Structure 1
Amino acid sequence: MNALLKPDSAEPEAAGAAPAASPSSRRPRRPLAANGTARARRQVSATALKIVAPLVGAALLVLIWQLITVNNSSFPTPAVTFAEAVKLFSDPFYRNSPNDQGIGWNLLASLQRVGVGFGLAALVGIPLGFLVGRVQFFGAMFSPIISLLKPVSPLAWLPIGLLVFKSANPAAIWSIFICSIWPMIINTAVGVQRVPQDYMNVARVLNLSEWKVLTKILLPSALPYILTGVRLSIGTAWLVIVAAEMLTGGVGIGFWVWDEWNNLNVPHIIIAIAAIGVVGLLLEQALMALARAFTYEQVSN
């Protein structure tokens, strides 16, 4: 009976023989020093990608800039431009006259126009996007209008603003408004339309009011799309204000660039381009951080 319980391939173990080693015990262990070395290499690689690579790109840009100035004496060198930037930003908020103000005041004036035009576009575009995405009739009604007007250049609206408002400042704000509203409407409508149908079925079963559906289902689900539209709109608005101010004049970074061109002050133009890029980058990064804060991912069990 005992012989039947043993497998056919089993052989009697010799007395005092050591047990067979398990596969895991035969596997060679990686030395702790090797683990530390690999971790250090990964940290160095991450640091290189984050810090060294951008510095190399900036150095390459400065090198190309320097090479351009070799055969073009009218183009300022990086050293000359840097010296002028130190002078400009040592007192960016001086004010000698309405047409002679520091670069800081000009940037603030442009940001103020962008803030007003962008804020008005958000107040109109986001609710309109909810309406277009939620109500089929309004979607069919506004879709042809949006498709027709969205490709129009924002500066093409500037003469209309000058004609209607009779002033340069409201006309520039109007141009920002009309160029910022389309991404908000489109992205908000897409976000509302992509709300899972299961959510809407649950709301219908629970007999939720339209306000509850809007605040508890549509808004949280569509929020990442809304923030994407906001981010696209702020970038477009910052691009448009520079061009609009070149045409309308007054205080603003666009007018300041055009005024420096009339004075043939090329270093100041390059400094203004860098300042415009930095401000635009900061605005976009701020909105991207806001979008990451309000975007959630479903966690799988």
Structure 2
Amino acid sequence: MVSAVFHSPIEAMPPAQKSAPLAAPKPAQEPAPVVAKPAPRAPRDSSGLWLRVLPPVLGIALLILVWELVAIRSTTGFPTPLATWQQAVQVFSDPFYSKGPNDQGVGWNVLSSLRRVALGFGLAALVGIPAGFAIGRFEFLSRMFNPLISLLRPVSPLAWLPIGLLIFKGANPAAIWTIFICSIWPMIINTAVGVQRVPSDYMNVARVLNLSEWKIFTKILFPAVLPYMLTGVRLAVGTAWLVIVAAEMLTGGVGIGFWVWDEWNNLNVANIIIAIFVIGIVGLVLEFALVKVATAFTFEEVKS
């Protein structure tokens, strides 16, 4: 019989490989972490800064240049920008002096005008905004008051002043009345337009859910009408600040309008120019404050 002889794999290996120890397999090396290189900084675009700064500076420079040319060619003693600046430094060195009811600093005059504007404008808001909601909400009231608003809105503010003097028997309440009657129209009209532009689907849903009138106002109308309402408030504040200057010129007392008229009687043209700048700056501050309020409480489209 032929017997089969089996050899193990180790015995079949060459002698060199038999003596060599078995090497453990090398572990796989982890790839080196890839460190992201910082992106190169984009060069700062200074064109936007120049577009924001340069045009206003050029506009102010053009105004001063025209002012200087008018002052040079004037034969009536029109003050130059430098003379007006020197007078402004003197005026604002003590803006809150008081030497009697008709001789007070520009600070007291501005505060008195702002107080009248606040009273007249506040009363107009208390009446005009609810009236705008009612006129926009109910068609009967809209048809009833639209002719009256169209008739009274174009009337000049100074035409209302004698009515106020006749009714209230005083210059201060007459000025507040004039501010009230001229400030109320923008708030009524813009609020009513905002209510009328509420999508009909919203009102249909409210009708299906059988919501009360108070729920309709608080949950649907007020959030949707708020941008229109604040636009009317901004227009009303601008109108009120314009009206108070003209009203105080005629009624007298303490106020920026009276200060302008009193300086004209004294032939102090430099102070009149200072008052013009003060009126413009205060109006700009009021407008800026209301824009900030609008951007804080309204939707994105109002922020533009």
TM-score by length of 1: 0.85
From 205, 208, 213, give the equivalent of 2:211.
Answer: 208
Q: Following superposition, which runs of at least 4 residues in structure 1 exceed 4 angstroms of deviation?
A: none
The yes-or-no answer on 1:154 pairing with 2:160 is no
From 191, 194, 199, give the equivalent of 1:191.
Answer: 194
Aligned counterpart, 2:97 = 94
Of all paired residues, the percent bearing the same amino acid is: 69
1:1-301 to structure 2, matched below 5 A, reads 36-37=42-43, 40-41=44-45, 44-73=46-75, 74-297=77-300
Partner Cα distance (1:297, 1:251) in 2: 41
Q: How many residues align?
A: 262
- The AA in structure 1 aligned to 2:65 is L
CA offsets 1:148-198 (integer angstroms, 9 cap, x no match): 000100110000000000000000000000000000000000000111111
CA offsets 1:192-227 (integer angstroms, 9 cap, x no match): 011111111111121111000001100000000000
Distance 1:214 1:271, change over 3 A: same
Aligned counterpart, 2:20 = none
TM-score by length of 2: 0.84
Partner Cα distance (1:91, 1:254) in 2: 19
Gap runs ≥5 in structure 2:
1-38
SS of equivalent residue, structure 2 residue 220: helix
Partner Cα distance (1:183, 1:216) in 2: 24
Partner Cα distance (1:54, 1:71) in 2: 26
SS of equivalent residue, structure 1 residue 99: coil
Partner Cα distance (2:294, 2:197) in 1: 18
- The AA in structure 1 aligned to 2:296 is A
Partner Cα distance (1:136, 1:232) in 2: 25
Partner Cα distance (2:84, 2:108) in 1: 20
- The AA in structure 2 aligned to 1:280 is G
